Structure formats: C-alpha cells, structure tokens
Amino acid sequence: MNRRSFIRNSAIGGACLIGGVYTWQIEPYWLEIVKKSMPIANLPDGLVGKTLMQISDIHIGNRFDYSFIIESFQTAQDLHPDFVVYTGDYVSYEDGKQLRQLEEVLQYTVKGKLGTVGVLGNHDYGKAWAELEVADKITAMLGGYGVDVLRNDQRNINGLNFIGFDDYWSPNFYPEKGIEHYNSSMPSILLCHNPDVCDLDVWGGYTGWILSGHTHGEQCKPPFLNPPMLPVKNKKYSSGEIDLEDGRRLYINRALGHLWPVRFNVRPEITVFELTQV
C-alpha cells in the first residue's frame, strides 16, 4: 500500500469509527425538546397559552440504559407542563422483568398540572402484541402513578377533551367505542399510537389534532432521503407534523426511547405544544 492509499484508507476508517460512536453513544442520548404551536377549535380562553407535553415510546427494558429516560423525565418536569400525554410503548417486553423495570422509571413520571393521560402501544401487549394480561398490568401501573390510560375512551379534563384509541395491532382495538360520543363543539385531542390508523374509516367526523408515536422517525435517516425502514403501511407517516387535508392534523413524535440504541439524524424527542385558538 502506497502512502496516498494509506492516508485515504486511514481517513475513511477514522470517519467510520467516529460515525459509529456518534450513532451509538451520542445521538441516542441527545434529547431534543421540540416546541410547537397547537391551534385548537373552540379552545376556552382559560386554556390559551397552556402547554401540552407529548412523551412517546420510552421502551423500558434490557436494550439500552434507561437511566437516560429517568434523566429526560427530570428535565421534562422542570418545564412544568399543564397537560402531559403519553402515546404508548412503555416497555420492550420480554418477560415480567420489564414490569419491574418500568416501575423503577415510573417513580419519575412527568405529570401535568391540569391532567395526565395516555394510550398503549403494541409493545405494551407483550409477545406477538397479544397478551392482554400484560397490557392490563401496565395500565394499572400507569394509573398508580397518575397516568389515566384511555383504551377506546374519552376524558374531559379542565375543558379539554382527550380521546384515546387502544393500539391498532392489539386485540383491543375498537376505535368506534372511543369516538362514539365525539362532540365536534368540544376542543379535542386524539391519542393513537400507530399513525396508520389515520387511513382507516373509523373517525366519525373527527377534526383536530392526532398525536402518535410508533415510528421513532425510524431512528436513522440519511440526509435528504426518506428513512430506509418504517413500521407503517403509509410511508409518509415518518415524523413531525402532517396536514391530513380533511380537518385533521397529525403529529408523530420521534420517540424518547429506542428499540436499539442507534440513532442518526433522528434525535430522541419530547414535544411541548402551546395551546392556541383557531
């Protein structure tokens, strides 16, 4: 190998090493607080300027050091949100150990001054997304730490109506129950872990915001290109805000946790919305 080839190959190797360290040790633990405005129809004057925080996909388990989640929760608490919503996948379930790990993390639960609600994700249904008893235990645990889990249900909290669909891939996906008593005159926000549900005929005339997770933005996204893999049928559902052009507006959180601790150009996210009137 001549000197020029040696220098070139050494530079390439060094760049790959640095890139690998970045995607494995830095970006997966580099939290971004994303701040956005959330215009809501019929929002009461008393809720204008209030904040709503979305946390999604914490994936507590054996696959990464979840002390990062605890530290992120502590950072989020310092923002003193008025409402907090969780959009599913609290664990990466393998066995009962994950429930004990989740309980450790839930001692630091971020709660809203006015209200805290959530929905379940596919991983909260255990193996093959089919273990109802796992989902029931996680629901009870979250309730014990102040998170009101909506499973095809609605909850009015201080004049703001929350609708929660249970997970699309679960055996308890009955969105018609969740939307049954929807009142378009009420200011509403709908929580739904998997954004593919947006393309189903289950919405009953709903208009307004839909908050989802599930995709993680696919964790690795080459610059100027679409993510190489997404766990959704509709590949436009990657991350961020999407106008569905029928009165619905979707926001997909990039996830706070990871299935595996590898991220590139897709930092872990906590979203803070400021409520405004339309």
d(CA 67, CA 82): 25
Residue 17 lies in a domain: no
**Could you report the per-residue pLDDT of 38-89, keeping only the tens digit for each?**
999 999 999 999 999 999 999 999 999 999 999 999 999 999 999 999 999 9
**Could you report the per-residue pLDDT of 250-259, keeping only the tens digit for each?**
999 999 999 8
Residue 6 lies in a domain: no
The tokens describing 109, both together, are 């639960």
- Residue 119 pairs in a beta bridge with 87
Give the distance between the most distant pair of CA atoms in the chain.
75
d(CA 210, CA 190): 5
The tokens describing 90, both together, are 């609290």
Residue 118 lies in a domain: yes
Residue 123 lies in a domain: yes
Are the C-beta atoms of residues 233 and 197 closer than 8 Å to each other? Answer: no
Structure confidence at residue 14 as a pLDDT band (50, 70, 90): very low
Task: Write the CB contacts of 175 (distance below 8 Å, at least 6 apart in sequence).
Answer: 152, 165, 192, 197, 200, 202
Q: In terms of residues, how long is the chain? A: 278
**Could you report the per-residue pLDDT of 184-227, keeping only the tens digit for each?**
999 999 999 999 999 999 999 999 999 999 999 877 777 756 66
Residue 178 lies in a domain: yes
Task: Give me the number of domains the chain comprises.
Answer: 1
The pair phi, psi for residue 212, each rounded to 5°, is -130, 175
Residue 78: domain span? 31-277
**Could you report the per-residue pLDDT of 76-132, keeping only the tens digit for each?**
999 999 999 999 999 999 999 999 999 999 999 999 999 999 999 999 999 999 999
Of 89, 86, 193, 97, which Cα lies nearest the Cα of 135? 89
Residue 94 lies in a domain: yes
pLDDT value of residue 22: 83
Coil, strand or helix: which one is 91?
strand
Residue 15 lies in a domain: no
pTM, to two decimals:
0.91
User: DSSP states of 188-257 as a string?
Assistant: EEEE-S-GGGGGSS--TT--EEEEE-SSGGGSB--TTS--S--SSSSTT-SSEEEE-SSSEEEEE---SS
Residue 19 lies in a domain: no
Are the C-beta atoms of residues 194 and 219 closer than 8 Å to each other? Answer: no
d(CA 262, CA 12): 20
The CATH code of the domain that includes 145 is 3.60.21
Q: For 192, how many CA atoms within 13 A lie in the half-sphere containing its CB?
A: 29
pLDDT value of residue 34: 98
Structure confidence at residue 158 as a pLDDT band (50, 70, 90): very high
Both ends of the chain: CA-CA distance in Å? Answer: 67
